[in-house]
Structure 1
């Protein structure tokens, strides 16, 4: 059942290589499959390559059954290099050291130590890898400089400085390659994590943007509908014509809200596609004032709305819309003033009402004001909102006239 749900090994590593835990000890790695194919190729290469190389080393001990067993042991141990990297790197080093001490021909058997060391380093067991390499280097020096007198082949001479220099250079090259690979893998892991975090941040920003849009659209329209529904109910018997007008306003407001919500949802359904309808802007301010008037709020507009880039234009419109919605819902005032001021490369947008507050949530419940602040901050602007000394409420927005989107 676990694998059917996509949590089994076959699903886990479908799109990438296995990863070792990198924690202490020979912890069981996440991919428990044995690397049969690569180990088989290495084994064949070691056996064939050593047999071929032995032909050019007549002074060494000829290959026999014991030599082939050591070659097989060093190669087959690599099957467990993912599960037990520490044991494998020490095991291959010991097998190679026994092979060398027995006087057999040099050959690609050293490849097994390279692969074992690489696996240990990648698994996070660097100390074990370097210890195994150091022991192998020290054991080889001990054999070639001192123990050669009692070890085969007979009549062998001490190794010269050149031979030991080659061994030391080989060990340093293996260490450098393993460390370089480890650094690159860590760098790739960091880059993947950074890309994932950037994608998450973009998703969060888009989610907040959609939440702001839906809140602004629905809060304004539902406020108008609520006010008009209350008026219609109150006038249904005494003044049917006024009740009819209220119902007409409710129909228009709900139709507009459905249209804007549909536009937001269309954007979600078609990622990357351009919206089918232009985003609202300050050119729809008269329409917004008419909707507020239908809800019983008279709106005075002072100053000329400027021409702004699309993002700033939408933000300014939504700020005015949310501020007027808060006046309708939370203020006893039936009059609001919207004032535009230009200067200093920016726009000062001020919305005032005369109060008094109509409840405990005067000025807004918090979501609308937070959305306004987020819109202004995204453009490099700021919002100030709070009670006025004379009992009213003021929203002051400072927005830059030029943003990055118009460059």
Structure 2
């Protein structure tokens, strides 16, 4: 079961249950007061409970109490609560809760018709129930289409990014080949020719100034060859920066969970030592794994701050509540602490106001 901060839609759904209960109070007898109290008490968890099974149980319980109240008090506004909860179940729940909700509605309407001898009103009521169900099914299908469209757009964007990245890698490989085959070979040949020219000048007894000029030219050619080789190595290595690696992890998290995952970068980004970059990326990876496990579909905020001589990383998930403190650090957090300790850094991990927070500082 997961809980979160109520949204506007949650408050509206609750109001469609609570307001009819208050409207039914002036005509309530002792039994009706009990049903009103039960319905109001059961409706409160609807604001927070979001797990599939708990939310279905709560909604069905509210449906039973509000429907019974409507059947007992003829003409009460409790039918609004009954039909609104039915709509919510059709919209959000699986097949079994929907079938149970329809069975409860059919039974309640039949009980109402028998109690008040109003079979002529049963057919219009069933018609309203059918309309509520059809509207819920239509809305459910529309939301499913929107989710599929968003998922398709996300996949298309990822594919486009990968295509652009592959094209960039291909172009870098082509430039590296040109540098190696043309510039590097030319500089190597020039260096060999200058070496031969220097030996010939020394053999023929040329002036020291002429020999020095050839040696300087040879050194420039050698330096140029070394720089060309460095450029070729850099182009072919294609090292991924820490911020790009973290952004890729967050993109994968968004695709997996559908939740928000944002990266904020502070300070002046710079190249980090491999061991530092690996530690930061592994920390984000472990934090996201824990969020998937303990705070399903929680939003995540990651902050990477480049300071003077240090890099600070903060990963905070937004579960909408303060999680309980872990009895002991798991293997993932323990391994993260060990990696940070090897770099003489610090790591802090624990519950925050609305989720879990991991903060580490490493020298860089």
Bigger CA radius of gyration: 1
More helix by share: 2
Q: TM-score, normalised by structure 2?
A: 0.48
> Which structure exhibits the higher relative contact order, with contacts defined as CA atoms closer than 8 Å and separated by 6 or more residues?
2
